[in-house]
Amino acid sequence: MGQPHQPDEAEADTGAGKPALGVGMVGYAFMGAAHSQGWRTVGRVFDLPSRPVLAAVCGRDRGAVRAMADRHGWAAVETDWRALIARDDVDVVDICTPGDSHAEIAVAALAAGKHVLCEKPLANTVEEAEAMTRAAHEAHARGQISMVGFNYRRVPATSLARAMVAEGRLGLLRHVRVTYLQDWLVDPEFPLTWRLRREQAGSGALGDLGAHIVDLAQYLAGEPLLGVSALTETFVRERPLPAGATSGLSAAGGSARGPVTVDDAALFTGRFASGALASFEATRFATGRKNALRIELNGERGSLAFDLERLNELSYHDHTEPGTHAGFRRILVTESEHPYLEAWWPPGHGLGYEHTFVHQARDLVQAIAAGRPPTPSFADGLQVQRVLAAVEESAAKNSVYTPIAV
């Protein structure tokens, strides 16, 4: 355990007089930094019923996790997640590890009486997600709260879109189309990191990006997907091993390499419970696209569209207006009446990606105080996991290429 973090004057004054809510986080890389930003900031922005305290962060490399703790304000470090769960000053366990450890850590944390926040996708398999959901249900009867981290629900524009759909602004839904495009794997010499190994990641672009867009589509539509038809592809099937790695070695070009065991891209269609049709594309090979998520919903009365690269905006078409002046219009989602924005800046002063994690922390803290199940719950994460499994099953069945006669 490291030396206790000494709060500065601003930290000491934040939430004075409110009960502390100790947070322990497992994992400290990209998602760990994003979650740290949320926990560190939320009490300074929103008036919360309790005061989040960054009690401890856990990682296997003591030096690296100590450096991260100092950078982001965590009071102590652990190198064993079991020790973190056992700490008396930890009330919430925040899981930011690869998917292969989600189930074990979450179930153990719930058994220890902790609240749990788990990054998406909830697990690597449906069976693991089912076990986590059962544990969460049992824990809720004891007053514990469990939530899965689909942060794109917390963009004010997507929250507004959900409210508009629920109000009937689109009428009966006809189409949902979603794409999530990145390009960070285009280089065939990019190393074989954990995200490219099924035993750790569960799947590739499907779980990494597809989980986000499946959840966002079901959240905005307000209904589940009932079935899918899918194709997946792995474009680069072998990559150089990271420095120090020894598993899965093969001799190729004089360097150690290993097989890519996940998909690089997933393309699938689906049908919602209402009969609305949906299309999804998730890839890490869209050259030039860095983090391009876009969703559009078309209904009998109107349409909504959201683009993550313009995340303070929502496009809306009201089809009940006369055609002479109807069309898509931009809603600048920065008004204090818009979701989450009552505590932020004056209208027109936009938010960014990191604010979704602040909003996520706010919603979890409020749910814990109220004793109500948060959304998305582990059951919501299980539903997404079932869709991902159905996509993989469909893709396997559709693997036989059928040429088109000319």
Q: What is the pLDDT of residues 369-381, one digit of tens each?
A: 999 999 999 999 9
Domain with CATH 3.40.50.720 in the chain: 9-151
pLDDT category at 8 given cuts 50, 70, 90 is very low
Does domain 156-310+312-351 fall under CATH 3.30.360.10? My reply is yes
The residue length of the chain stands at 406
- Mean pLDDT score across all residues of the chain: 93
Reported as a pLDDT band with limits 50, 70 and 90, residue 90 is very high
Mean pLDDT within 40-60: 98
Model pLDDT, residue 361: 98
Entry pTM:
0.92
Residue 25: per-residue pLDDT = 98
Q: What is the pLDDT of residue 34?
A: 98
Share of the chain above pLDDT 90, in %: 89
pLDDT the model gives residue 405: 74
**Pick from 354, 347, 346, 344: which is nearest to 331 by CA?**
347
Handedness of CA 342, 344, 349, 353 (dihedral sign): negative
Average pLDDT in the 288-299 region?
98
Q: Where in the chain is the domain with CATH 3.30.360.10?
A: 156-310+312-351
Phi, psi at residue 194, to the nearest 5°?
A: -60, -30
The whole-number pLDDT of residue 3 equals: 40
Parallel/antiparallel/unpaired status of strands 277-283 and 292-299: unpaired
> Right CATH number for 9-151 from 1.10.260.40, 3.40.50.300, 3.60.21.70, 3.40.50.720?
3.40.50.720
The residue that leads in pLDDT, 403 or 90, is 90
For residue 183, give Cα distances in angstroms to 209, 225, 313: 12, 27, 24
Are β-strands 277-283 and 265-272 bridged in parallel, bridged antiparallel, or unpaired? antiparallel
pLDDT at 253: 47
Residue 38 is predicted with a pLDDT of: 98
Confidence of residue 2 (pLDDT cuts 50, 70, 90): very low
Higher-confidence residue of 11 and 350: namely: 350
